[in-house]
Amino acid sequence: MSAPVSAGNDSLFVIRRSLELLARHGAAFLAIFAVFHLPPLAFGMVLGGDGDSPSTSVALIASVLSWSLGGVASALVTVMALGIEAGKPVTLPNVVRQVRIHVGPVLGVGVIAGAAISFGLMLMVIPGLIALAFLCLATPVAVMEGRSAPESIQRSVELMKQGWQGVGLGVLGVTFIGAIAGQLLLTALEDANGALIGTSLYAASSFFGAWTAVATALAFSRATGRAS
């Protein structure tokens, strides 16, 4: 594995190429995240009470559902994106088959990484961002290299320590864009009804979830030299 040319080149590649793939195949990527984002959203809406803030237990269960199902969605998008990058025929049955084989580690990585990132963001923003950068490759490692959840997390951290921080910065860049867009959306819909706000945030989170997953897949490919 050759060393990265520069962090700037790596981060720009991740952002630019992910946008190109989204422009060509965005409908498929978005559909995956739209499907997998729906269960935790529905769970929170059904059990969240009568308009009040959901209880701690409901919020925790919804978070675990979101982390685990988000991990599966990311894995599906990873396999699709890397197959496209390699110029190979990509079919849904083959994509699902590869993810199903490694679904245990994928779920584990989703929960562990999601919890670590969320906890870091709650404590202070910087620890959460550092966790995101260092753990962002764990899901692609789990589904593409067939490693266990702890091994996938360790491998992601090792790749960053080996000088691949640039790809992590690329993923962070996409995350920042998503966070800013979400805040702007909330501001624009400040006086709207709850249904419109919920639907808009659902659509936005599905889009930026798909974009982040594509960027993460490309970051993994850049760091490991592996296209599929």
Backbone φ/ψ region at 87: left (φ over 0), alpha (ψ -120 to 50), beta = left
Distance, CA of 165 to CA of 81 (rounded, Å): 21
Question: pLDDT per residue over 66-107, tens digit each?
Answer: 888 889 999 999 999 999 998 888 999 999 999 999 999 999
Output 133 or 111, whichever has higher pLDDT. Answer: 111
Please tell me the predicted confidence (pLDDT) of residue 64: 83
Query: DSSP H helical segments within the chain, as ranges?
Result: 7-47, 56-85, 92-101, 103-123, 125-135, 138-145, 149-161, 165-188, 194-224
Q: Region 9-34: what's the mean pLDDT?
A: 92
- The structure tokens listed for 107 are 């779920």
Q: Which pLDDT band, with edges at 50, 70 and 90, does 225 fall under?
A: confident
Q: What distances in angstroms separate CA 114 from CA 25, 82, 187, one per listed residue?
A: 26, 23, 26
Highest-scoring range by mean pLDDT, 40-49, 55-64, 73-82, 117-126: 73-82
Q: Which pLDDT band, with edges at 50, 70 and 90, does 185 fall under?
A: confident
Asked whether the predicted pLDDT for residue 20 surpasses 80, the reply is yes
Q: What distances in angstroms separate CA 64 from CA 32, 112, 115, 116, 146, one per listed residue?
A: 18, 9, 8, 12, 22
Distance, CA of 117 to CA of 127 (rounded, Å): 8
- The structure tokens listed for 13 are 């590649």
Distance, CA of 164 to CA of 159 (rounded, Å): 6
Q: Region 31-60: what's the mean pLDDT?
A: 70
Asked whether the predicted pLDDT for residue 23 surpasses 90, the reply is yes
Domain boundaries, the chain: 7-224
Question: pLDDT per residue over 191-219, tens digit each?
Answer: 777 677 778 888 888 899 999 999 999 99
Please tell me the predicted confidence (pLDDT) of residue 102: 95
Residue 16: half-sphere exposure toward Cβ, Cα within 13 Å: 6
